Amino acid sequence: NAGVTQTPKFQVLKTGQSMTLQCAQDMNHNSMYWYRQDPGMGLRLIYYSASEGTTDKGEVPNGYNVSRLNKREFSLRLESAAPSQTSVYFCASSEDPRHEQFFGPGTRLTVL
């Protein structure tokens, strides 16, 4: 079992460019999450999907969109990247919101 996988590992974008971060889990989990991690700010929830077919905003959703493609996959899209979106992005999954969340290895994104 690979657990939670994320691609790419690193990405550099110019302001205004778009990109999609991919996330997949092989644990048959219902819930999936996207977080961003910035120094001194902890982990902040961007969007989550409590179950297949549903998505909802978290604490910092502005500038992002998500797609729960199927039970395994949950993607995060930046339509027009801004320097403020420079961060490390983590995808996570859990059986349900009250159970342990399993995190992927992260994507380090730099927006110039």
5 forms part of the interface with another protein (CB under 8 A): no
32 forms part of the interface with another protein (CB under 8 A): no
1 forms part of the interface with another protein (CB under 8 A): no
DSSP calls for 12-57 = EE-TT--EEEEEEESS--SEEEEEEEETTTEEEEEEEESSTT--EE
Q: According to CB under 8 A, which residues from 69 to 88 bind another protein? A: none
- Binding residue for another protein (CB under 8 A) from 50, 55, 63, 73? 50
Size of site (CB under 8 A) for another protein: 24
State in angstroms the smallest separation of the CB of 15 from another protein.
26
Q: According to CB under 8 A, which residues from 8 to 27 bind another protein? A: none
State in angstroms the smallest separation of the CB of 80 from another protein.
26
Distance, CA of 76 to CA of 60 (rounded, Å): 13
Q: State the Cα angle at 45 between 29 and 72, rounded to 5°.
A: 25
The residue count of the chain comes to 112
Distance, CA of 35 to CA of 52 (rounded, Å): 18
Using CB under 8 A, list all residues that contact another protein.
4, 33, 40-45, 48, 50, 56, 58, 90, 92, 96-98, 100-106
